[in-house]
Amino acid sequence: QTYNTPALTTLFLLADSVEWMNGNGGLEGMASRCDRSAETLYGWAEASSFATPFVEKPDERSHVVATIDFDESVDANALAGILRSNGIVDTDSYRKLGRNQLRIALFPAIDPDDVVALTHCIDHVVAELTA
């Protein structure tokens, strides 16, 4: 055994993930899930009074990880903390940028309907924080 020998569990999870992806439309299906999630999140941010997409040009935005800026009325770190304390994880900002923002995963394994629910959760938390 060497340091580079993958664990059996890792190989099992890889095979399971590939089978799930292939069973759900393959590469096209996975890209479609990411596209739907990106449309939801970026559309929400563009329509929001307190959030905007970090990347201004739509054709340059990632459909895998989205970064959303918040205006000064919203403390993104407090928002991320509240989301995390309620089981919504992996919405932290890029710390080195020092911006008031959330970075949100749009990976294929994330159900696009969960992204819709996330936008509703953010709206609810922000309404409570700014009330």
Mean of all residue pLDDT scores within the chain: 94
pLDDT-derived band at 1, boundaries 50, 70, 90: low
Range with the poorest average pLDDT among 2-16, 52-66, 77-91? 2-16
pLDDT value of position 28 = 98
- Give the span between the Cα atoms of 94 and 17, in whole angstroms: 27
Q: What percent of the chain has pLDDT over 90?
A: 85
Identity (one letter) of the amino acid at 55? V
pLDDT value of position 6 = 81
pTM of the complete model: 0.89
Whether 97 shows a pLDDT value over 90: the answer reads no
Identity (one letter) of the amino acid at 5? T
Task: Tell me if 127 sits within 8 A of 105, measured CB to CB.
Answer: no
- Six token digits for residue 43: 């559309």
Identity (one letter) of the amino acid at 21? M
pLDDT-derived band at 20, boundaries 50, 70, 90: very high
pLDDT tens by residue, 44-71: 999 999 999 999 999 999 999 999 999 9
Whether 2 shows a pLDDT value over 70: the answer reads no
